[in-house]
């Protein structure tokens, strides 16, 4: 699943090619949005909002795509062959000098920007970890909301309505770095721990916003290819303590968590973690 930093990079990559340009052609697979509504409109913004890629137009309309597990945006020159079959294109926009194509996204829709606050996938999103004005207090309040408090901290961190931007990689890595057992309930964790987790996720996302190779380890490790602490490393030794990392599926989707049973033993968060290094 794309993480917040992926969406951020996608928006940053499309922005210079779309901003201020007028759509000369647009096509959407049907059933789907009415792409013709966008022809003749000028792009005023390209934004990553949580895991949504939003393109705004001068007439108050916006195109929202949610990339789900396999979706992605590509940019081509007009006439250039696409790297995925056209049948998988959900929507494409052509502006002078560029064609932007969204492939395999489960969601593509056109709505009015002013309706965004009322729109559940966008209006219901928690504070955006990569947003310029991230509200940590609001993130904490949402993590502690009754519908999440009894569930696991891993599930709460991945819930985009609590905080927007955390996917599987940053979930596993943040929990490891803060010594938190992924299956601890939100209710049993103190505010200070929740705050550290959110800060950590934000720092990791921010540090990776300009890069393709995600890195959560400090330099001497990262330089030798050991870029992640636990994500994707189940069955291998913990880079900190040597214990064998465990993995377990959870949730409805389902998702898979990887963690160190020693560094993230129940209650380990109460021991002051080492200072943040990244």
Least CB distance to Zn ion at residue 259 (A): 9
Is-contact 110 63, C-beta < 8 A?
yes
Least CB distance to Zn ion at residue 21 (A): 50
CA distance 218 to 227: 8
Nearer to Zn ion, 17 or 257 (CB): 257
Nearer to Zn ion, 187 or 241 (CB): 241
**How many Cβ atoms are within 10 Å of 261's Cβ, its own excluded?**
15
CA distance 50 to 130: 8
Least CB distance to Zn ion at residue 2 (A): 28
Catalytic residue among 3, 62, 94, 178: 3
Least CB distance to Zn ion at residue 172 (A): 13
Catalytic residue among 196, 200, 214, 257: 257
**Residue 3 bears catalytic tag:** yes
Burial level of 242, CB count in 10 A (0-12/13-18/19+)? exposed
Burial level of 20, CB count in 10 A (0-12/13-18/19+)? exposed
Least CB distance to Zn ion at residue 275 (A): 17
CA distance 103 to 100: 10
User: Which residue's CB atom is positioned nearest to Zn ion?
Assistant: 238
Nearer to Zn ion, 50 or 182 (CB): 182
**Residue 257 bears catalytic tag:** yes
CA distance 94 to 76: 9
Nearer to Zn ion, 192 or 241 (CB): 241
Q: Is 139 helix (H, G, I), strand (E, B) or coil?
A: helix
Please, which residues have CB within 8 angstroms of residue 190's CB and are 6 or more apart in sequence? Answer: none
Is-contact 273 174, C-beta < 8 A?
no
Nearer to Zn ion, 73 or 176 (CB): 176
Catalytic residue among 9, 41, 51, 255: 51
Q: Is 5 helix (H, G, I), strand (E, B) or coil?
A: helix
Contact residues toward Zn ion (CB under 5 A) are: 238, 240-241, 243, 260, 262-263
Known catalytic residues? 2-3, 51, 257
């Amino acid at each position: 699943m794309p993480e917040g930093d992926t969406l951020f990079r996608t928006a940053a990559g499309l922005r210079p090619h779309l901003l201020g340009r007028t759509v000369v052609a647009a096509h959407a697979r049907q059933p789907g949005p009415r792409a013709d509504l966008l022809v003749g409109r000028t792009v005023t913004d390209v934004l990553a909002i949580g895991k949504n890629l939003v393109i705004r137009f001068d007439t108050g309309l916006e195109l929202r795509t949610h990339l789900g597990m396999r979706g992605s945006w590509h940019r081509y020159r007009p006439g250039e062959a696409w790297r995925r079959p056209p049948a998988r294109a959900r929507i494409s926009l052509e502006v002078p000098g560029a064609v932007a194509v969204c492939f395999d996204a489960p969601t593509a829709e056109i709505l009015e920007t002013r309706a965004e606050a009322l729109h559940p996938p966008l209006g219901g999103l928690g504070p955006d970890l990569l947003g310029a004005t991230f509200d940590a207090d609001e993130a904490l309040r949402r993590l502690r909301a009754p519908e999440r408090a009894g569930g696991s901290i891993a599930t709460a961190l991945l819930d985009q309505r609590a905080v927007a931007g955390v996917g599987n990689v940053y979930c596993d890595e943040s929990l490891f770095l803060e010594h938190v057992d992924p299956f601890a309930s939100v209710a049993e964790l103190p505010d200070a721990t929740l705050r550290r987790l959110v800060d950590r996720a934000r720092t990791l996302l921010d540090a990776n916003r300009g890069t393709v190779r995600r890195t959560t380890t400090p330099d001497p490790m990262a330089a030798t290819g050991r870029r992640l602490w636990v994500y994707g490393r189940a069955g291998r030794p913990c880079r900190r303590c040597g214990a064998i990392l465990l993995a377990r599926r959870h949730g409805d989707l389902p998702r898979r968590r990887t963690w160190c049973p020693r560094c993230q033993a129940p209650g380990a968060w109460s021991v002051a973690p080492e200072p943040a290094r990244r």
